[in-house]
Amino acid sequence: MTVPRIGLTLGDPGGVGAEVVLKALASKGRLPEAEYVLFGDARLFGEEARALKLPADFSPWPGGGPARPGIFLRDVAAPAADRTRRRPDAATARRLSGSSRRP
Residue 79's pLDDT is 67
Rounded Cα–Cα distance for residues 58 and 15 (Å) = 21
Per-residue pLDDT of the chain (103 residues; tens, 9 = 90+): 688 999 998 887 777 888 888 888 888 676 788 899 999 888 888 888 998 998 888 899 988 889 999 889 999 886 664 545 555 556 655 666 665 555 5
Inter-residue contact 6 to 35 (CB < 8 Å): yes
Q: What are phi and psi of 22, to 5 degrees?
A: -65, -40
Inter-residue contact 12 to 21 (CB < 8 Å): no
Q: What are phi and psi of 25, to 5 degrees?
A: -70, -25
